[in-house]
Amino acid sequence: MLSDSVFYALAIPAVILLGLSKGGFAGVGAIAMPLLALRISPVQAAGILLPVLIVQDAVSVWAFRKNLAREILALMIPSALVGIVLAYLLAARVSATVVLATLGGISVVFACYRLWISRGGRVPMPSNAPRALGVLLGIAAGFTSQVAHSGQPPFQMWVLPKQLPPAVLVGTTAIFFAAINLLKVPAYMALGQFTRENLLTAAALLPVAIASTLLGVWLVRRIDAERFITIIYVLMAVVGVQLLFKALH
């Protein structure tokens, strides 16, 4: 298990934000990977966080297992698998600096996208867009999820125009990301990131993850979520720029 106090000073808030994201503060968990990558390699950070995400996903899938859009999942899950493989090949064949720069770029783009959406911006996408576009967005979701555990923007660009009932939207999202997180396991095993050290570190963070998920469910009805989320995305953009600077120097 990692014993670096600076790592835990970053990891505990990161895992809390992951839990809050699962509990209702959609998307804020995307900052978890960039925060950890400030201290350890992005590949190792992703390997530590993946078991945490899988445990959180299990709760979400159980709660929403009957609320799903099968046709969306049938299209996007196989497409996401292609993106996962492409991202694995990137991580396996290039230097850690390139992976760090990729993570920084994804973080900045994700944060700017969410800030734009929060101010009323929308990506024009008809509800009957060609399935080929859904395949491409599925690949993008798998790629960004493998690299940075942040596949939400491409997924939402395809799903939100479908105007699904709220429960079906939540359930489809939960099941999609639970599926691709499981599909990422072989890639992380191949990258050698399920080491004893990483798994013990993930296990140490699990109580925080579970508690913060329950906290998110409680808080989302009691505070000004929009202001909180805006602060997180601004911070994520700043961290993304720091990662790009770190990669380039």
Report the pLDDT value the prediction gives residue 180, as an integer from 0 to 100. 94
Give the number of other CB atoms < 10 A from CB of residue 52. 26
Report the pLDDT value the prediction gives residue 77, as an integer from 0 to 100. 96
Which residue has 């400030």 as its token pair? 38
Rounded to 5°, angle at Cα 235 from 149 and 153: 40
What type of residue sits at position 214? L
Listed in sequence order, the residues at least 6 apart from 125 whose beta carbon sits closer than 8 Å to its beta carbon are 157, 158, 160, 161
Residue-wise DSSP of 84-121: HHHHHHHHHHS-HHHHHHHHHHHHHHHHHHHHHHHTT-
Cα dihedral value 146, 33, 16, 172, nearest 10: -20
Nearest-angstrom CA–CA distance, 84 and 72: 18
Q: Give the pLDDT confidence of 162-214 residue by residue, as tens digits.
A: 888 877 887 888 889 999 999 999 988 988 888 889 999 999 999 988 888 77
Nearest-angstrom CA–CA distance, 170 and 114: 18
Mean pLDDT, the chain, whole residue set: 84
Report the pLDDT value the prediction gives residue 98, as an integer from 0 to 100. 82
For residue 217, pLDDT over 70 is answered with no
Nearest-angstrom CA–CA distance, 214 and 70: 28
Q: Give the pLDDT confidence of 64-108 residue by residue, as tens digits.
A: 778 788 999 999 999 999 999 998 888 778 777 887 888 888 888
Chain centroid to Cα 50, Å, comes to: 10
DSSP state of 162: G
Q: Minimal CA–CA distance to 195: which of 40, 57, 44? A: 44
Domain ranges for the chain: 5-248
Q: Minimal CA–CA distance to 23: which of 209, 244, 240, 192? A: 209
